[in-house]
Amino acid sequence: MSTRIITGPTFEPVTLADTKLHCRIDNAYDDTLLTAYITAARVHAEALLHRCIATQTVEQWLDSLPKFGDVINLPHGPVFNLTMFRYLDSQTLVWTVVDPSVYVLDTVSNVAQLTPASNENWPTALDQANVVQIQYQSGFDQGQGITAIPAAIKIYIMSLVGAMYNNREAFADKAAVNVEFLERLLDPYAEQFL
């Protein structure tokens, strides 16, 4: 299985203005640097969460479709929209879209899943690498924009930006930021693999 982000977010989870207010920065000299820190903090938070924060399009490739009733896990949740699900048919050798009546998209479970619909089985894909392509949209905002992102995630990002801004060197003499406390803000939103 191979998974990658093919379309990144069109906005960051926190604004530059809110971040500057949070960090008590009242000048525009370092706006470019702060903007880069915001992106870096979001990417870091997404790595810790194993989830997308702002809406992104994820692409996943599989080497086969499951047998019988097995599920297909969709990492990088929270998933809210399936945009493509196709496979290389073993009989026709043609890329074929999986009929939506054949599967159910479960976005309620900790890890989103595709499961066969009642009395349905997965079609048969060609036996070779990368014969199933799935694309989906994922993000805590569910396509609703910055206001739908949980406050704790925003505070984590702004606090991490403040720490990076105030400790620009890899080894600073200043007191260390309590990273463990900050990361606990993310705990309720982390993807749980059961």
pLDDT value at residue 158: 96
pTM of the model: 0.84
Of 14, 9, 39, nearest in space to 154 by CA: 14
Rg of the chain over CA atoms, in angstroms? 20
pLDDT attached to residue 191: 66
Those residues whose C-beta lies under 8 Å from the C-beta of residue 6, and which sit 6 or more positions away, are 57, 58, 59, 135
pLDDT at residue number 43: 95
Write out the chain's pLDDT in tens, 194 residues. Answer: 889 999 999 999 999 999 999 999 999 999 999 999 999 999 999 999 989 999 999 999 999 998 866 899 998 889 999 999 999 998 999 999 999 999 999 998 888 999 999 988 899 899 899 999 999 999 999 989 999 999 999 999 999 999 999 887 765 555 555 667 778 888 888 865 43
The pLDDT assigned to 194 comes to 38
d(CA 164, CA 176) in angstroms, rounded, equals 11
Residue carrying the six token digits 């929209």: 81
